[in-house]
Each structure stands twice: as C-alpha cells, then as structure tokens.
C-alpha cells in the first residue's frame, strides 16, 4: 500500500469526503420521501389511493393530544425560569416590570417552538423510527409492498400530515403555557396582577412574533418526521439495529432542529 494512502491528513480528508457524500445522500432521501408523501397526500384521492384519514386522526391523537400534558409542564416551567432570570437581571436597572415583554417575546419567538420541537423529536421521532424499524426487521414493510400497498402512502404520509398539523398546534399551546408560567411567577414575585400581565403581553406581542414560532414549528415537524421515518426504513440487523436507528433519529432530529432554529432565527430577524 502506498505511504500516502495511510497518511493522517489523507485519512481525515477521506473521512470528511465520505461523511459529506453520506449527508448529501441522506438529504436526497429526505427530499424523495417528502415529495412522495406530498404526492400521496395531494394526488392520492384522485387516483383512488388516498392517504388513510383514520390513520391521520389516530396519529394526531397519539402525537399531539397525548403530548399536551408534558408540553404544558415543560413550557410552564420554561416560562417560570425565564421570569426568574429576567426579573433577577432587570432588578439591576429597576425595570422588573419589563419582564412581561421579555417573557412574551422569548416564549413565542424562541422557546415555545424549540421546546416543543425537542420534546416531539424525543417522543414522536423516536417512536416513528422504532415502529418503522421494527416493521422493517419483521418484513412487514416487504409484506406491504407485495400486497400492493405503498409504504410511504401507508406509513409516512399520514404521519407527516398529522405532524404538520399537530406540531404547530402544540407550539401555540406551549406558547400559552409558557406565558402562563411567566404570569404566575411574576404575580407572586413582583405583585403584578394577572390581568395587567395579560394586557401588557397582548400589547407587547405582534402577530408576526407568534407566526415566527409557528413557521419554525412547521419546519421542525418536517425534520422530525423525515429523520424518524428514514432512519426506520434504513434499519438492518434486528433489534440492535432498531435501537441504533431510534437513538440516531433522536440525536439527528434535535441537532437539525437546533441548527435550523439558529439559521431561521437569523434570517427572520434581519
């Protein structure tokens, strides 16, 4: 073997190259899954092979409604924590009452969608990867194919549809829970009445602030679904493979969500 082939620099470059190719391949796979899912959602009814409505509602229940309690608890806590930190900092300038504006903007523009995205990535993204991965291992995906049932139409499209509806809804719910947390702590700490808190929040917020978070949540829903199902479909090697795919799905989803959030926050606030 030539000496240059084992040189650390060459090896590092090769590793970077392979990782880049893999990343591009994955991006292509996500895109193909997205296009195919959209095709079935939009064109399925016209070719008499619609996406199953019952599956969409069932997934909206498990992905969305069942997640409400945990979203409320986390978002309420984030609202309280934001209020604690902001009151502590604003006290220095004697401007504690401005905590309302800080909490309102932080929750609606950033923490509501981010916390919801991370929570759903851990809860639903992992569940999608595990479910599809197990089906892959048990040849259920092959069985669907040979029965003439397209797995993307049957499994991915309903999940994507449900996520695109429920993640923004959960984000809005998270916003409300976060604001409630801020209001409760503020009323206890600085004696600001609940009514006054709501009045100031409403006057501080513009529709665009809330919509910025909702727009991000749509993107997060896409990321969580596509990463989850693509990792599920790529499972090999039995139960161990399912475990690996599930872990990979959660780690990748959360990483992509945080990076996408940073990028979109920058561009939406130029």
19, 31, 89, 138: residue in contact with other proteins (rule CB under 8 A): 138
Is 127 an interacting residue with respect to other proteins (CB under 8 A)?
no
- From 187, 176, 195, select the one nearest 75 (Cα to Cα): 176
8, 69, 94, 148: residue in contact with other proteins (rule CB under 8 A): 148
Q: How far is the CB of 190 from other proteins (least distance, A)?
A: 51
Q: Calculate the alpha carbon distances from 225 to 72, 131, 206, 215 in Å.
A: 22, 12, 30, 16
Q: How far is the CB of 141 from other proteins (least distance, A)?
A: 9
Is 140 an interacting residue with respect to other proteins (CB under 8 A)?
yes
Is 240 an interacting residue with respect to other proteins (CB under 8 A)?
no
Number of residues that bind other proteins (CB under 8 A): 13
Q: Distance of alpha carbon 174 from its chain centroid, rounded?
A: 13
Is 143 an interacting residue with respect to other proteins (CB under 8 A)?
yes
57, 145, 188, 255: residue in contact with other proteins (rule CB under 8 A): 145
- From 121, 145, 131, 114, select the one nearest 214 (Cα to Cα): 114
14, 142, 195, 240: residue in contact with other proteins (rule CB under 8 A): 142
**CB nearer to other proteins: pick between 28 and 195:** 28
Q: Is 40 exposed, middle or buried (0-12, 13-18, 19+ CB in 10 A)?
A: buried
Q: Is 258 exposed, middle or buried (0-12, 13-18, 19+ CB in 10 A)?
A: middle
75, 124, 134, 246: residue in contact with other proteins (rule CB under 8 A): 134
Is 149 an interacting residue with respect to other proteins (CB under 8 A)?
yes
* Gap between the Cα atoms of 255 and 23, Å rounded: 14
**CB nearer to other proteins: pick between 50 and 122:** 50
**CB nearer to other proteins: pick between 123 and 192:** 123
Please tell me what DSSP assigns to residue 52.
P
CB 172 within 8 Å of CB 210: yes
Binding mask 196-235 for other proteins (x = CB under 8 A): ----------------------------------------
Q: Which stretch binds other proteins (CB under 8 A): 37-45, 133-141, 198-206, 254-262?
A: 133-141
Q: Calculate the alpha carbon distances from 155 to 50, 136, 181, 206, 260 in Å.
A: 12, 12, 37, 38, 25
N- to C-terminal Cα distance for the chain?
53
Q: Which stretch binds other proteins (CB under 8 A): 66-74, 88-96, 147-155, 215-223?
A: 147-155
Q: How far is the CB of 35 from other proteins (least distance, A)?
A: 15
CB under 8 Å to 35, separation ≥6 — which residues?
none
Q: How far is the CB of 127 from other proteins (least distance, A)?
A: 12
Interface with other proteins (CB under 8 A): 134-135, 138-140, 142-149
């Amino acid at each position: 073997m030539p000496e240059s082939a084992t040189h650390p620099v060459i090896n590092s470059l090769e590793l970077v190259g392979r990782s880049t190719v893999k990343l591009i391949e994955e991006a292509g796979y996500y895109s193909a899954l997205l296009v195919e899912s959209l095709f079935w959602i939009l064109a399925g009814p016209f070719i008499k092979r619609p996406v199953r409505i019952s599956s969409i509602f069932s997934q909206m229940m498990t992905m969305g409604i069942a997640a409400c309690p945990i979203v409320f608890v986390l978002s309420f806590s984030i609202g309280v924590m934001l209020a604690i930190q902001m009151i502590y900092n604003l006290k220095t300038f004697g401007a504690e009452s401005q905590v309302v504006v800080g909490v309102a903007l932080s929750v609606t523009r950033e923490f509501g969608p981010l916390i919801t995205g991370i929570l759903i990535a851990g809860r639903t993204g992992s569940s999608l990867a595990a479910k599809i991965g197990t089906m892959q291992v048990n040849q259920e995906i092959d069985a669907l194919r040979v029965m003439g049932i397209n797995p993307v139409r049957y499994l991915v499209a309903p999940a994507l549809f449900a996520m695109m509806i429920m993640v923004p809804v959960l984000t809005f719910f998270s916003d409300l829970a976060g604001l409630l947390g801020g209001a409760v702590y503020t009323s206890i700490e600085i004696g600001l009445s609940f009514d006054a808190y709501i009045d100031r929040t409403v006057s501080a917020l513009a529709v665009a602030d809330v919509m910025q978070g909702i727009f991000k949540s749509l993107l997060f829903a896409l990321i969580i679904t596509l990463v989850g199902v693509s990792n599920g479909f790529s499972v090999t090697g039995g139960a161990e493979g399912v475990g690996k795919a599930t872990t990979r799905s959660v780690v990748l989803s959360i990483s992509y969500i945080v990076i996408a959030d940073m990028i979109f926050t920058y561009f939406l606030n130029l």
